[in-house]
């Protein structure tokens, strides 16, 4: 029954309806490929390259969430992963498919919302570069649950997101707590996370492997790196933490 709140899903829908649609924002975002957006060049995140080169990430099956034009999905494929990569924006996915065709890489790029996905213990790696910090606070609940379900025991969740204190340098101008997002009905361009907040959100269900500022990379580097972002890597425990208590 429309506009009746019986369950958590109804509550999420009510909260979503208070904000602009993410698809409306992201669809035109990729139309002009020449805009000076830092993550438009086809370069993988510096942390991902380091984790592959160090032997921490060794291949298998990977899923990228909010993949945009596919720079990290393409890199992971070259690094030996079989990759499913999803984004809300048709325009971004079309660009990603063109990039894959240019170098004859086989990547499963699909235009889908992360909230439509229901994978079960399929992936060795789930990667998110800049998607979570654009999700509304309540959307993190099904998002993190979906990622937990998607990973095999011992699988990794890699993520980059805004750090606080970089307003004017490309990060959010304001650091908002989650309640303020609903009071102001806006995320003001994306949410910045303190280290404490990231640990609070992710230490249950995951174990922290790495959490550090991203290294700065220049235009001439073949990797992407902006120090306004955190770099994080988490591992799903081999056994369910709660059952092991
Ligand atoms: C900051 S961009 C990062 C793009 C890409 N990961 C990169 O770093 O090049 C965030 C991306 O998340 C996508 N996104 C936001 N909400 C999403 C959702 N619910 N489902 C799938 N993708 C989403 C947007 O379309 C956008 O491409």
- What integer is the mean pLDDT of 45-73? 98
Query: How far, in Å, CA of 12 to CA of 67, rounded?
Result: 24
Task: Ligand 1 pocket test: pick from 36, 86, 134 the residue with the most ligand atoms within 8 Å of its Cβ.
Answer: 134
pLDDT per position as a tens digit, 232-243: 999 999 987 655
- In this predicted structure, the answer to whether residue 26 has a pLDDT above a threshold of 80 is yes
From the list 34, 37, 58, 97, the residue with the least C-alpha distance to 224 is 37
Q: Confidence band (pLDDT; 50, 70, 90) for 245?
A: very low
> What is the structure's pLDDT at 194?
96
CB 47 near ligand 1, within 6 Å: no
CB 87 near ligand 1, within 6 Å: yes
pLDDT per position as a tens digit, 77-122: 999 999 999 999 999 999 999 999 999 999 999 999 999 999 999 9
CB 39 near ligand 1, within 6 Å: yes
Ligand 1 centroid–CA 47 distance in Å is 18
CB 172 near ligand 1, within 6 Å: no
Domains of the chain with bracketed CATH: 8-31+45-244 (3.40.50.150)
């Amino acid at each position: 029954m429309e506009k009746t709140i019986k369950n958590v899903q109804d509550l999420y829908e009510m909260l979503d309806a208070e904000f602009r649609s993410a698809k409306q924002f992201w669809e035109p975002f990729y139309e002009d490929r020449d805009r000076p957006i830092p993550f438009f060049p086809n370069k993988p995140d510096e942390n991902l390259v380091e984790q592959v080169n160090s032997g921490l990430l060794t291949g298998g099956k990977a899923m990228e969430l909010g993949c945009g034009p596919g720079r990290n999905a393409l890199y992971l494929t070259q690094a030996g992963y079989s990759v499913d990569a999803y984004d809300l924006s048709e325009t971004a996915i079309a660009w990603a498919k063109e990039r894959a065709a240019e170098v004859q890489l086989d990547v499963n790029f699909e235009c889908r919302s992360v909230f439509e996905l229901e994978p079960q213990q399929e992936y060795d790696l789930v990667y998110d570069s800049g998607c979570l910090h654009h999700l509304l606070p309540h959307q993190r609940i099904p998002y993190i649950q979906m990622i937990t379900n998607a990973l095999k025991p011992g699988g990794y969740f890699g993520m980059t997101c805004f750090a606080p204190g970089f307003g004017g340098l490309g990060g959010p101008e304001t650091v908002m707590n989650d309640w303020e997002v609903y009071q102001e009905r806006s995320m003001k361009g994306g949410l910045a996370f303190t280290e404490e907040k990231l640990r609070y959100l992710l230490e249950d269900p995951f174990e922290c492997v790495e959490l550090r500022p991203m290294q700065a990379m220049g235009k001439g580097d073949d990797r992407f790196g902006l120090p306004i972002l955190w770099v994080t890597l988490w591992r799903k425990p081999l056994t369910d933490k709660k059952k092991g208590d």
